[in-house]
Amino acid sequence: MSKSKNINRRRFLSSVAATTAAFTVVPRHVLGGAGFTAPSGRLNIACIGMGVQGIGDMKQFLNNPDAQVIAVCDVNKESGGYRGGETAGREPGRRVVEKHYAAKKASGTYKGCAAYCDYREMLMKEQKNIDAVLVATTVNIHAFAAMAAIRMGKHVYCEKPLAHNVFEARSLTEAARRHKVITQMGIQLHATDRLKNAVEMISSGVIGDVKEIHLWAGSPRWPQGIQRPSETPPVPDSLDWDLWLGPAPRRPYHPVYHPRNWRGWYDFGAGALGDMGCHIFDTAFWALKLSRPTNVEACSSYFIGSNGKQVVNNETYPRASLVRYEFPARENMPPVGLSWYDGGLMPPCPKGLSGNVRLPGSGGMYVGEGAR
């Protein structure tokens, strides 16, 4: 999202590992710039979103001696530690932090971790204490929480997908440059040796000029192609439903949205393409230097309403989709066509392979010509 002339500033956060993020954190005086006097050498971090991914990301900070977590926030008051309870067998965010820093707290070198339900309240109250913010909420909150932190001059690590739409992503990019902060999106596979090796092999010409790419994500792990439920069960006592909705249009609570299943709903998530595509498209864009496509064509499964007829579904992403992108020639590389499949759709098996060969549930296939 943003670049800096000082190479040290760019080392603020770097993600590794396939499932949870790990980071390289530099001391506060490096990020602060000229004239900055730090009260300590550690980077003070606040974390927004204490679900599975948020806790996993936060633990990487806890293991880094150059950083410390001083505040956590979650609209589920049990997950965030706001009331000190437990959710789904997991320890809440604040308890995880306090246990990790128990020795430092006892010695007086750590002042403790504050817990909030509303990220806006946390940012206002902790503004003078925090240097950087982790955002690991539902996708519809990403841009709003990240923007609030950026405008305060805080560095931001935001989980993927970066934003709910293109406008939000561009707005964050412009704000990060304007406020001169360090930012990174949590696309952890980007730093794995497996992906780097694939990029090196493709870009070096081992399989020749790539003119055709097939990428697929299999069936999503959350419901898609469904309509809004009519039932209105009570909101769990631990959940602030209004804060969970955030900028999305108001609707009654239902467990079909939260937890996890929000990814398939237009108002909250990005569907299979937006959610898993961040990882799966990465190799192609990196290795083949792709930019804007010149043509995009899409088709998807249709939705049958209660009347037995095909209707427009304005609630969730389709059960399955096939999207075809055409990219122009780049430098010394020829034009390339890229096909995306999800919802169980798969590309054709390459010619020359045995009929017993089965493609993995998700992945990519790069068709090269004239290998060097």
* pLDDT higher than 50, residue 17: no
Confidence class for position 32, pLDDT limits 50, 70, 90:
low
Confidence class for position 25, pLDDT limits 50, 70, 90:
low
Q: Measured on CA atoms in the order 201, 206, 209, 211, is the torsion positive or negative?
A: negative
* pLDDT higher than 70, residue 341: yes
d(CA 139, CA 269): 5
Burial class of 102 by CB neighbour count within 10 A (0 to 12, 13 to 18, 19+): exposed
Tell me: the pLDDT tens digits for 279-329? 999 999 999 999 999 999 999 998 887 788 888 889 999 999 999 999 999
Confidence class for position 80, pLDDT limits 50, 70, 90:
low
d(CA 200, CA 242): 47
Task: Give this prediction's pTM.
Answer: 0.84
- CA–centroid distance for 319 within its chain: 21
d(CA 28, CA 74): 25
d(CA 115, CA 303): 43
| Secondary structure in 3-state letters for the chain | CCCCCCHHHHHCCCCCCCCCCCCCCCCHHHHHCCCCCCCCCCEEEEEECCCHHHHHHHHHHHCCCCEEEEEEECCEHHHHCCCCCCECCECCHHHHHHHHCHHHHHHCCCCCCEEECCHHHHHHHCCCCCCEEEECCCHHHHHHHHHHHHHCCCEEEEECCCCCCHHHHHHHHHHHHHHCCCEEEECHHHHCHHHHHHHHHHHCCCCCEEEEEEEECCCCCCCCCCCCCCCCCCCCCCECHHHHHCCCCCCCCCCCCCCCHHHHECCCCCHHHHHHHHHHCHHHHHHHCCCCCCEEEEEECCEECCCCCEECCCCECCCCEEEEEEECCECCECCEEEEEEECCCCCCCCCCCCCCCCCCCCEEEEEEECCC
d(CA 333, CA 205): 10
* pLDDT higher than 80, residue 35: no
- CA–centroid distance for 337 within its chain: 26
Q: How many CB atoms lie within 10 A of CB 89?
A: 5
Confidence class for position 354, pLDDT limits 50, 70, 90:
low
State the span(s) of the chain assigned CATH 3.40.50.720: 7-190
Mean pLDDT of 159-164: 94
State the span(s) of the chain assigned CATH 3.30.360: 193-369
Structural tokens at position 175: 């704000």
* pLDDT higher than 80, residue 90: no
* pLDDT higher than 80, residue 26: no
* Assigned CATH topology for domain 7-190: Rossmann fold (3.40.50)
Mean pLDDT of 157-183: 95
Between these two residues, 220 and 200, which has the higher pLDDT value?
A: 200
Burial class of 301 by CB neighbour count within 10 A (0 to 12, 13 to 18, 19+): middle
Mean pLDDT of 141-153: 97
Mean pLDDT of 264-272: 94
Mean pLDDT of 209-230: 91
Q: What is the pLDDT of residue 251?
A: 96
Q: How many residues does the chain have?
A: 372
* pLDDT higher than 50, residue 83: no
Contact predicate 130/47, CB 8 Å: no
Q: What is the pLDDT of residue 235?
A: 95
Q: What is the pLDDT of residue 220?
A: 83
Mean pLDDT of 120-129: 96
Q: What is the pLDDT of residue 14?
A: 29
Please provide the average confidence, as pLDDT, over all residues in the chain.
85
Confidence class for position 187, pLDDT limits 50, 70, 90:
confident
Mean pLDDT of 359-363: 86
**Domain at 193-369, CATH from 3.30.360, 1.10.10, 3.30.70, 2.60.40:** 3.30.360
Q: What is the β-pairing status of strands 363-369 and 209-216? A: antiparallel
